[in-house]
């Protein structure tokens, strides 16, 4: 159990580091017009916007699944 949590933590940390390095590389090696096209005008908050979108997608999927399960099992009562 602890091994699994450890490796998940290592994977998350590696993902964060790689994403930060990739974002820094893109900022340093692409023209401003291309950066604005890819990252949008608010380039400093790309990570926050990405996490917010992922959280929103997760919540939508969770709510849809919850509604599906509620309809399936509450109808049987």
pLDDT band at 14 (very low <50, low <70, confident <90, very high): very high
What are the sequence ranges of the domains in the chain?
Answer: 1-40, 42-77
Q: What is the pLDDT of residue 69?
A: 92
Note the pLDDT tens digit of each residue in 31-77: 888 888 877 777 777 778 888 889 999 999 999 999 999 998 887 76
CA distance 7 to 13: 10
pTM of the model: 0.53
When pLDDT is averaged across residues 8-14 and rounded to a whole number, the result is 92
Q: What is the pLDDT of residue 9?
A: 92
3-state secondary structure 3-36: HHHHHHHHHHHHHHHHHHHHHHHHHHHCCHHHHH
């Amino acid at each position: 159990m602890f091994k699994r949590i450890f490796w998940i933590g290592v994977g998350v940390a590696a993902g964060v580091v790689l994403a930060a390095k990739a974002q820094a590389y893109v900022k340093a090696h692409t023209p401003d017009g291309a950066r604005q096209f890819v990252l949008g005008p608010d380039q400093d908050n790309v990570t926050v916007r990405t996490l917010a979108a992922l959280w929103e997608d997760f919540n939508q999927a969770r709510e849809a699944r919850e509604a599906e399960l509620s309809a399936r099992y509450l109808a049987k009562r």
